[in-house]
Structure 1
Amino acid sequence: MRNREVIKSIILIILVLISICMTYLVWTFTPELTDLETDVNTKTPSIGPKISKQMDSVVMPFRMINRNGTDVKGTSNVQDIKKITDRLLGKEIKKIDILSSESVVELEDLSERYTMLDFPDSVPSEMYFNQVLGLSMVQYPKINFDRILIDTKSTNDVIVYMLSDDKKQAIKLQTSIKSHEFDKINKEVSQHFTPYTGIITNENTTNEINQIYAPKDADNINIYRYVSNQISVADLNEVILGDSVIARNNENDKISTYNNNTGIANVNEEKQTYRYTNLSDDENRNKDISKSISNTFKFINEHAGFTDEFRLFKTDKKTGKIDYRMFLNNYPVFNDDNLSLIEAVWGRDTINEYNRGLITTGVAVPSKKEAYELPTSEEVRYNLASNQDINFNDVTNIAVGYDLSLPNEEKDSLQDTIEFKPNWYIKYNGEWKRYENGGLV
């Protein structure tokens, strides 16, 4: 009996000590905040709040399609796409195969049911594996891809294919992801998918895995207006030119020029654009797209240059130029003066060119205009194919986007507002153009 009381006393003391320890841990707990400031140097000048962007939110697909036989549905919703791409992060790769063909590569083992992730332009596979997905490999396969296919029907483990931009090569990855786990996530996000259609424009797109995919209907997309904010030119000059800045204006005062010992920046006050060229590094632009994406992303991220939602949108292997485009409500934003674009060229060890708009979105304001009704993708396809001035073989992508404009009708515009109007955009001869009245502008 006495031993029982001693045991009770010991247990009580232990419980009291555990309670004291847990209380101490709760009150002294400090949350880990390093992810919020990744790649942000507090000593670096900035043009906005220093909120770091993760690379997988900038280098990412802009549409997702589920294909099951003839049933094709998809979405551009970034949250749904991220739930799918997050399943690929840091996974073990069991086997890698490189498939190639002199014409169009055939994926003989691909099932009739798969998920497709489309990128707006080609992405270097080694950079995407390493820096975006965080995959550890002894040697990273090197192709430039613009489409990922995810097959969960062929085997118990997910098979991933990465198709090259010329459709002559593919990387086949056998992953450690269980097919049933991926299907569960896919089923959840696909509940609100809408019908999509495959479009054939040339002999390379006759195969369903290479077709151009677009939503069948693109109606009820609203026109949006925002109060515009302007990036401080002084802050941008501090980032780009440093302290030794010489300023001068031209005769009409619409273009201001700033320079230091090595570079020059032109600011167009009317068009609200900033264009910088590093004169000392002009011949040393980096043609390695993987390094250019990594370095330009880090450079822009460090000075909070992704002032709105921006995504990698175009890579130019000939010039080394990297384009990051603004997105609004899951759709790319276009503007004739490139207000929605950040263009960057990396040199030997610093920025060579840096061009961008000075406008950012602020508070949304009510619009008097109703939702803009767009033609169907089939109407767009038919009109383009029937247009004698267009070589339909050179159409390589079709997407809904927004046209960014500064309202110029005084009776219908608010001071310092910008307007986003939906429209169809066509990638033609490597350039994105606005579809208008059966043609391209």
Structure 2
Amino acid sequence: MRNREVIKSAILIILVLISVFMTYRVWTFTPELTDLETDVNADTPSIGPKISKPIDSVIMPFRMINRNGTDVKGTSNIKDIKKVTDQMLSKEVKKVDVLSSESVVQLEDLSERYTILDFPDSVPSEMYLNQVLGMNMSYYPSVNFDRILVDTKSTNEANVYLLSENKQKAVKLQTTMKSHKFDQMNKEVAKDLKPYTGIITNETTTNEINQIYAPENAYSMNVYRYVTNKISVSDLNDVILGDSVIARSNEDQVSTYNNNTGISTVNEEKQTYRYTNLSEDENQQKDISKSITNSFKFINEHAGYTDEFRLFNTDQKTGKIDYQMFLNNYPVFNDDKLSSIEAVWGRNAINEYNRGLITTGVAVPSKKEADELPSSEEVRYGLASNGEIDFNKVTNMAIGYDLSLPNDELDNLQDTIEFTPKWYIKYDDEWKRYENGGLA
């Protein structure tokens, strides 16, 4: 009898402990959006094929660099970069350390061999680690970063560092990612890597971990031409303005439409669409993490990523998020912003939504040959020698494509666009085209 009471008591204690544990799991559970897909409902208005983009294909690095002592090689190939980020998916983080300095943070435990993942602008660490990589962590530090370092030489399990844009803060993550598996993956992608160089522009970039990295040469890039498809303004208005659309005016190739809360402007000459939600103007969302998450979901739900787009600029002050078109692994630029999607999220809805109306269709032969691009060292020397440029304000450089409409009559195909390779420089927080030692 006494044994039976003891057994009952033991079972009761076990059930209580299980209940406490399950309650703890429920209260500390954080959803991992890496496993969530934003399905495009058949009844939801859309502007393109109803294909959902995974978040880690839109919010991702735009190049990777392997550094081993003085040997520096890298790539912007999306497949190789994805192999690196896939290694970090859903890994557990055993310890989190936030490092800081009044000047430039020092990573004393970093070995001489590591992998760099570069982002074109700052990304909130809590959003990226949780929603994109789905890492299991006790807490997510509030540090915005633009570079990740992966060190697999120091320990059997990799250390991951997130560096802030001003390089005064770093987050060190001790992970369960196996170093030998990461190194094995790196050997597989080694054949695709090209020589890269580290560039010093100011006091912050004197350290190897903070240098600006760029390919030594452009390696014979081509001019590409595509037949264009045009996004239906009517479809876009259905998405943005809904059923109660009122056409207000149509003058000088500029049309305006509105509903009870907002107004959109279509410029037929520049092929751009701009929307402002007047009711959300005073309630703009300044939380960049929420702005990225909500704008990504909003664009994805109406199939707005009509080409390959990636997160490219984040404005902490205004809350504006910029998604940039990519072609053949390189960012695409255009003076009229035909190649970008700009979004500002309000408290409950989209506040601003600006985009180009053209998308790439079938590739067609181009008779134009690309001019040979200068080496990264020639670009560095040209910028440093230009008295009108403050070289300290150069914070990034990359090869990209200039999107343009052909204007030569003999070689002009109706409804086509051209992509011409150029060097682009991030100068004073803006990406500018490099031309003959200057910036355009």
Same fold by TM (over 0.5)? yes
The answer to whether the 8 A contact 2:92-2:137 is kept is no
Cα deviation, residue 373, structure 1: 1.1
The answer to whether the 8 A contact 1:37-1:52 is kept is yes
1:19-418 alignment runs, 5 A limit: 38-252=38-252, 254-418=253-417
The answer to whether the 8 A contact 2:38-2:301 is kept is no
Structure 1 counterpart of 2:345, which letter? W
1:429 paired to 2:428: yes
**Distance (Å, rounded) in 2 between the aligned partners of 1:377 and 1:286:** 38
Structure 2 counterpart of 1:189, which letter? V
Cα deviation, residue 35, structure 1: 7.8
**Distance (Å, rounded) in 1 between the aligned partners of 2:72 and 2:136:** 33
SS at match of 2:154: coil
**Distance (Å, rounded) in 1 between the aligned partners of 2:369 and 2:325:** 23
The answer to whether the 8 A contact 1:214-1:399 is kept is yes
For 1:344-365, what per-residue CA distance to the aligned partner results, in whole angstroms no more than 9, with x for missing partners? Answer: 0000100000000000000000
Larger mean Cα displacement after TM superposition, 113-122 or 136-145: 136-145
Q: 1:278 to 1:103 in 2, by over 3 A?
A: same
Cα deviation, residue 36, structure 1: 10
**Distance (Å, rounded) in 1 between the aligned partners of 2:161 and 2:39:** 30
Structure 1 counterpart of 2:336, which letter? D
Cα deviation, residue 331, structure 1: 0.2
Cα deviation, residue 135, structure 1: 1.4
Structure 2 counterpart of 1:397, which letter? N
The answer to whether the 8 A contact 2:37-2:54 is kept is no
The answer to whether the 8 A contact 2:122-2:165 is kept is yes
Q: 1:209 to 1:35 in 2, by over 3 A?
A: closer
Cα deviation, residue 88, structure 1: 0.3
**Distance (Å, rounded) in 1 between the aligned partners of 2:190 and 2:204:** 28
**Distance (Å, rounded) in 1 between the aligned partners of 2:87 and 2:280:** 41
> Where does the alignment leave 5 or more consecutive residues of structure 1 unmatched?
1-33
The answer to whether the 8 A contact 1:425-1:434 is kept is yes
Structure 2 counterpart of 1:96, which letter? V
Q: 1:37 to 1:154 in 2, by over 3 A?
A: closer
Larger mean Cα displacement after TM superposition, 133-142 or 62-71: 133-142
TM-score with structure 2 setting the length: 0.91
**Distance (Å, rounded) in 1 between the aligned partners of 2:43 and 2:110:** 50
The answer to whether the 8 A contact 1:61-1:81 is kept is yes
Cα deviation, residue 177, structure 1: 1.2
**Distance (Å, rounded) in 2 between the aligned partners of 1:196 and 1:438:** 21
The answer to whether the 8 A contact 1:265-1:275 is kept is yes
Structure 1 counterpart of 2:214, which letter? A
**Distance (Å, rounded) in 1 between the aligned partners of 2:405 and 2:51:** 27
**Distance (Å, rounded) in 1 between the aligned partners of 2:161 and 2:37:** 33
**Distance (Å, rounded) in 1 between the aligned partners of 2:379 and 2:283:** 42
SS at match of 1:209: helix
Structure 2 counterpart of 1:122, which letter? S
Other-structure match for 2:4: none
Structure 1 counterpart of 2:249, which letter? N
**Distance (Å, rounded) in 1 between the aligned partners of 2:192 and 2:351:** 44
Q: 1:35 to 1:114 in 2, by over 3 A?
A: closer
SS at match of 2:399: strand
**Distance (Å, rounded) in 1 between the aligned partners of 2:323 and 2:250:** 30
TM-score with structure 1 setting the length: 0.91
**Distance (Å, rounded) in 1 between the aligned partners of 2:36 and 2:417:** 30
Moved over 3 A (4+): 34-39
Cα deviation, residue 37, structure 1: 5.7
**Distance (Å, rounded) in 1 between the aligned partners of 2:397 and 2:37:** 36
SS at match of 2:87: helix
Cα deviation, residue 248, structure 1: 2.8
- Paired residue total: 407
The answer to whether the 8 A contact 1:264-1:276 is kept is yes
**Distance (Å, rounded) in 1 between the aligned partners of 2:427 and 2:322:** 17
**Distance (Å, rounded) in 2 between the aligned partners of 1:36 and 1:101:** 37
> Where does the alignment leave 5 or more consecutive residues of structure 2 unmatched?
1-33
The answer to whether the 8 A contact 1:224-1:420 is kept is yes
**Distance (Å, rounded) in 2 between the aligned partners of 1:36 and 1:236:** 25
For 1:393-415, what per-residue CA distance to the aligned partner results, in whole angstroms no more than 9, with x for missing partners? Answer: 00000000000001011111111
The answer to whether the 8 A contact 1:219-1:372 is kept is no
Cα deviation, residue 191, structure 1: 1.4
Other-structure match for 1:20: none
**Distance (Å, rounded) in 2 between the aligned partners of 1:135 and 1:164:** 19
Other-structure match for 1:438: 437
Other-structure match for 2:30: none
The answer to whether the 8 A contact 2:424-2:433 is kept is yes
**Distance (Å, rounded) in 2 between the aligned partners of 1:320 and 1:404:** 26
**Distance (Å, rounded) in 1 between the aligned partners of 2:153 and 2:405:** 49
**Distance (Å, rounded) in 2 between the aligned partners of 1:213 and 1:145:** 16
**Distance (Å, rounded) in 1 between the aligned partners of 2:407 and 2:297:** 36
For 1:73-98, what per-residue CA distance to the aligned partner results, in whole angstroms no more than 9, with x for missing partners? Answer: 00000000001100000011111111
The answer to whether the 8 A contact 2:38-2:297 is kept is no
Q: 1:399 to 1:365 in 2, by over 3 A?
A: same
